[in-house]
Amino acid sequence: MSMDLDSVALPSVHRPQQSATILCCNCGAPIDGTQSAGALCYDCIKLTTDVSEGIQREGVIHTCRDCERWLSPPSQWVTAAMESRELLALCLKKLRGLNKVRIIDASFLWTEPHSRRVKVKITVQQEAYEGTILQQTFEVEYVVAYQQCPECAKSYTPNTWRASVQVRQKVPHKRTFLYLEQLLLKHGAHKDTINIKEVKDGLDFYFAQRNHAEKFVDFLTSVTPVRVKKSQELISMDVHTSTKSYKFTYSCELLPICKDDLVALPLKLAKSIGNISPLSLCYRIGTSVNLIDPNTLQTADLPSAIYWRAPFKSLADVKELVEFIVLDIEPTATQNGRFFGAEVTVARASDLGVNDTTYFCRTHLGGVLHAGDSVLGYHLTGTNFNNPQFEELEQNNTYGSTIPDVLLVKKYYARKKKPKARSWKLKRMEKDEGELLPKKADQERMDADYEMFLRDVEEDSELRQTLALYKAQQQRRAADEMSMATSADDEVPQINMDELLEDFDELNVNDMES
């Protein structure tokens, strides 16, 4: 039987196409001839081709000694910490030829802190030949040079500020300014100031730009009850271009009521904010004044805007507190948050052994007071107040039957340790005292106010949460020795070491001295 081969369809066979293998012209290694570039293997291409050619290996970066900012060409000064992302971006921006390659990775290399050198390791990629991509890592060394920024240069010459913020509070102590100082240090709100000057009843902050002053004023209004007034003064004017130069001044007046002050509210105001008792205590100052009635534990908030419509002064401040001894205490069933109501029988500490006069009152300190404790309060019996609100209160007799004899404010802890024995500390802000050099009596008063503020920090946990407390490295050993030597202050509130931060500035100074 015959078959016609032409009519039979043979299956097609697909054979893989074999690549041509050649030898590298440099090292003789077998390579793919269809994909090789210049008859060189990949290793030889890396040895003969430098993809980082034309990129600087050395550079100079400028920083200002005073404000510690870095110069970003041509004229911008930016804030960046050492080995931060902002400083790395600034270093890469200053390299010429880096835009011709693709950056894969960049990181800092460790250098001596005082060598004034910054090293950066950079990994780049670039296509050397068609289909061949090379990756290379190299180091760039920068020299840190000092250059004074224009803002710091202006600060050393007179009359260079463009805006000033005048913060004032007419009270006999500085507790509010000490608290405000710690808030400024914690949030860095004063970093744009070119000078801080201490004046009577307050501080003056000077700024080189108007927007910096407005930002500072916004911070003040967000943490304290303050009234702001703005004024401007024409410095110069160009009649040809109608260009004018002004100096701006912001007057910020803090509300003259502080924590632990005794307040006599106007009757209409007391009814409008919740019908609270007109005779109240201020237990906290925030964006508004927080008041409490020790008899009923009723609380109310007095907004700053409402206060400035009809301002009034406090009836008594912490300078007038009197020490009492708790003779008997009976808790009641009332409670409002951290306040516990109680009925207390107290006697003045100065009357013990002299007379048997006792006073009965209600207080909001039922959770912390016990029989035998010392407590600070306002002694109202036989006290004359030159205050129209208090006189109206006595005439209308709206505070129950009579004005209470005593209003207790806070528990008193007897301290026998020296103030230097604390294992924690607060940072202070550098201020220019100007012409108001403190006298000896003024310095003693300022030290007493600061010691009172430190005691408030120890006793008030809510106050500590808003501040930045640091470990006192040099004083911790002395504090431990004092605590072991005496146990007279066991009842004094102690700050947990977990709440304290490390003071890196002090650690760096100790490293330099060692």
Question: Could you identify the residue written with the tokens 């106050």?
Answer: 463
Q: What one-character-per-residue DSSP string does 440-452 give?
A: HHHHHHHHHHHHH
The pair of three-digit structure tokens given for residue 505, joined into one six-digit string:
């500035």
3-state helix, strand, coil in the chain (%, to 5): 25, 35, 40
| Amino acid (one-letter) located at 357 | T
Q: CA 268, CA 280: separation in Å to the nearest integer?
A: 15
> pLDDT truncated to tens, each residue of the chain (514 aa)?
444 444 444 454 455 555 667 777 767 677 766 555 566 676 677 777 777 787 888 899 999 988 889 998 888 899 998 889 999 999 988 888 888 888 889 999 998 888 899 999 999 888 776 667 788 888 999 999 999 888 777 767 666 788 999 999 888 888 888 899 999 999 988 888 888 888 888 899 999 889 999 999 999 999 999 999 999 988 888 888 888 888 999 999 999 998 899 999 988 898 898 889 889 999 988 888 999 999 889 999 999 889 988 888 888 888 889 999 999 999 988 898 889 999 999 999 988 888 888 999 999 999 899 998 999 999 988 788 888 888 888 777 654 446 888 999 999 988 765 555 678 888 888 877 665 555 666 778 888 888 888 888 888 888 888 888 888 765 454 445 454 444 445 567 778 777 788 776 655 544 444 4
10 Å Cβ neighbour count for 289?
26
Sequence-ordered list of residues with C-beta below 8 angstroms from that of 277, at least 6 positions apart, any chain: 270, 293, 295, 296, 298, 398, 399
User: What is the Cα–Cα distance from 186 to 505, expressed in whole angstroms?
Assistant: 15
Of the candidates 453, 460, 452, which has an alpha carbon nearest to the alpha carbon of residue 284? 460
Asked whether the beta carbons of 42 and 132 are under 8 A apart, the reply is yes
How many CA within 13 A on the CB side of residue 175? 25
Both tokens of 145, joined, read 């040079």
Confidence at residue 509, expressed as pLDDT on a 0 to 100 scale: 44
pLDDT score, position 498: 77
Q: Could you count the other beta carbons within 10 Å of the beta carbon of residue 188? A: 10
CA atoms lying within 13 Å on the CB side of residue 281:
24
d(CA 251, CA 165): 6
The tokens describing 133, both together, are: 């991509």
Task: Report the greatest alpha carbon distance in the chain.
Answer: 147
Residue with tokens 């100096």: 247
Cα 33 to the center of its chain, rounded Å: 66
Residue 505's pLDDT is 63
Q: How confident is the model at residue 385, as a pLDDT?
A: 84
**Strand residues in 58-211 grouped as ranges (E):** 58-63, 69-72, 76-79, 102-109, 117-129, 132-146, 163-168, 193-199, 202-207
117-133 pLDDT, tens digit per residue, is 999 999 988 877 666 77
Separation CA 327–CA 122 (nearest Å) = 75
Q: How far is CA 156 from CA 165, 279, 338, in A?
A: 19, 51, 51
Beta-carbon contacts of 181 under 8 Å, excluding residues fewer than 6 positions away, are 428, 429
Alpha-carbon distance of 7 to 5, in angstroms, equals 5
Beta strands in 304-357 (DSSP E): 322-336, 339-348
Q: Which of 352, 427, 463 is nearest to 188 (CA)?
A: 427
Helix H or strand E segment including 459: helix 440-459
DSSP secondary structure string for all residues of 283-318: EEESSEEEEE-TTT--EEEEEHHHHHHS----SB-G
Closest CA to 147 of 77, 64, 74: 64
User: Could you tell me if 285 and 176 are in contact, meaning their C-beta atoms sit under 8 angstroms apart?
Assistant: yes
- Taking alpha carbons only, the member of 220, 212, 152, 214 closest to residue 181 is 220
The type of residue at 203 is L
Residue 438: per-residue pLDDT: 58
pLDDT digits (tens, 9 = 90+) for 50-72: 777 878 888 999 999 888 899 98
Sequence-distant (≥ 6) Cβ neighbours of residue 347 within 8 angstroms: 324, 325, 327, 357, 358, 359
Residue 418: its pLDDT value, please?
A: 55
Q: Please report the pLDDT score of residue 489 as a whole number.
A: 55
Q: For residue 204, what are its two tokens?
A: 């003056």
